[in-house]
Amino acid sequence: MKNNDQIKTDGQTKDRKYTLLNIIIVVLTIIFFCLCLFIAADTKPRGYVYGPDSAETMLRLVEYGKYSELLRSSHINRMLGVNASGNDTYTIPYAAADYYEAAFNYKGLMSAGASVEASTYADKMSAARQTLGEYAYIADDIDDLLKL
């Protein structure tokens, strides 16, 4: 049989364990809550948070050959209503994005053997190349990138 001293010692040990576990649970709950807040804050749409990309930013993407990012930027700008028809600074990046999109789809359709559907994108590629004008080397760079 246990005497009173042993019972008090066992009870104090259990109390310490439960207190420690409660502290750990509270700390982990706070950390989990903070992580949830960070995730929720990071899930806002890009266009909503930052707005449209400027023409200079888009030209920089062309300069660095980041055509997939350029295509994304052009779609976001168009979605947000950036009117590029009267602004010549958007002409080259938008034409490069249109060429990249058409060339990407053209290559995919040609790889799939759908040459009739691919001809539509070939027409879009030639229209975008004409819009590029003296910057037609961008279209050549995209062709090299996509191995057309």
- Indicate the pLDDT class of residue 31, thresholds 50, 70 and 90: very high
Q: What is the pLDDT of residues 98-111, one digit of tens each?
A: 888 888 888 888 88
- Average the pLDDT over 2-14 and give the result: 58
8 Å CB contact between 76 and 47: yes
d(CA 135, CA 117): 27
Domain total of the chain: 2
53 and 102, same domain (yes or no) = yes
The pLDDT value recorded for residue 74 is 85
74 and 106, same domain (yes or no) = yes
Q: What is the pLDDT of residues 57-98, one digit of tens each?
A: 888 888 888 888 888 888 888 887 777 666 677 788 888 888
58 and 118, same domain (yes or no) = yes
Residue type, 69: E
8 Å CB contact between 128 and 95: yes
pTM: 0.63
% of the chain exceeding 90 in pLDDT:
8
131 and 77, same domain (yes or no) = yes
90 and 109, same domain (yes or no) = yes
| Domain limits for position 39 | 1-43
The pLDDT value recorded for residue 4 is 53
The pLDDT value recorded for residue 45 is 57
119 and 75, same domain (yes or no) = yes
Dihedral of CA atoms 134, 137, 143, 146 in degrees, nearest 10, equals: -120
133 and 80, same domain (yes or no) = yes
92 and 39, same domain (yes or no) = no
39 and 53, same domain (yes or no) = no
